[in-house]
Structure 1
């Protein structure tokens, strides 16, 4: 199972990625664009999710489009989920502690890919 240390390591290993600590939550950005972030769930969201809700924050991830959100949630419903408003936008939430490191590596890299400038995407492609 994955941990927030894995999230941090994967995100910061991507070209141009930086961590921003907002005090209560962290986000990972490439340039000025967030590609992953800690998302604190609201009380009503926790109530609707019940025991599917993470104990702490969820991992928010940018996706290429809302269709990718649907595909992730359908493929791994124990790991990926949405709350009101998230399914309408190209963003998905992940339950870090239920994910495999490989799940997170792929999802975080794809999130970064959606936000990174071409020169950095080319750098990653050359690795």
Structure 2
């Protein structure tokens, strides 16, 4: 399953991605806007889990287009380590328990997050390139 090293390698494939730090955590951005970031749990997050054990290992947050997409992603990917917490209730992002996420699923999720903020020309070029490779 996936690791932060896999995240680093996969975001390097997305044009214009820059690694920055936001709120003390590594963040990957395009066009100056973060689309993926490390998201350790705060004390308040852990308290909200109550008696239920929180997800383990590195946690990654990935931006989605809107709350409708967030709901769809969480429904479709519940068994793949995707989840949310109350802090993200009205925010268009999902959380991933990386140790449960298959690499192809992580690659797709990072691409989707990147597409939220990528310049249109870069996005079209990357998608066309991937489409050509898939046909070969």
Query: With structure 1 as the length reference, what TM-score do the two structures score?
Result: 0.88
| Cα separation, 1, equivalents of 2:89 and 2:5 | 27
5+ residue gaps in structure 1? none
5+ residue gaps in structure 2? 130-136
The aligned residue for residue 133 of structure 2 is none
The aligned residue for residue 6 of structure 1 is 6
User: How far apart are residue 25 of structure 1 and its match?
Assistant: 1.8
The aligned residue for residue 27 of structure 2 is 27
Matches within 5 A, 1:1-127: 1-21=1-21, 24-49=24-49, 50-56=52-58, 58-78=59-79, 79-127=81-129
User: How far apart are residue 24 of structure 1 and its match?
Assistant: 4.3
| CA distance 1:41–1:23, shift in 2 (3 Å) | closer
- 1:80-114, CA deviations, whole angstroms, 9 ceiling, x for partnerless residues? 11112413121111111110001111110000001
Moved over 3 A (4+): 21-24, 47-50
The aligned residue for residue 134 of structure 2 is none
Larger Rg: 2
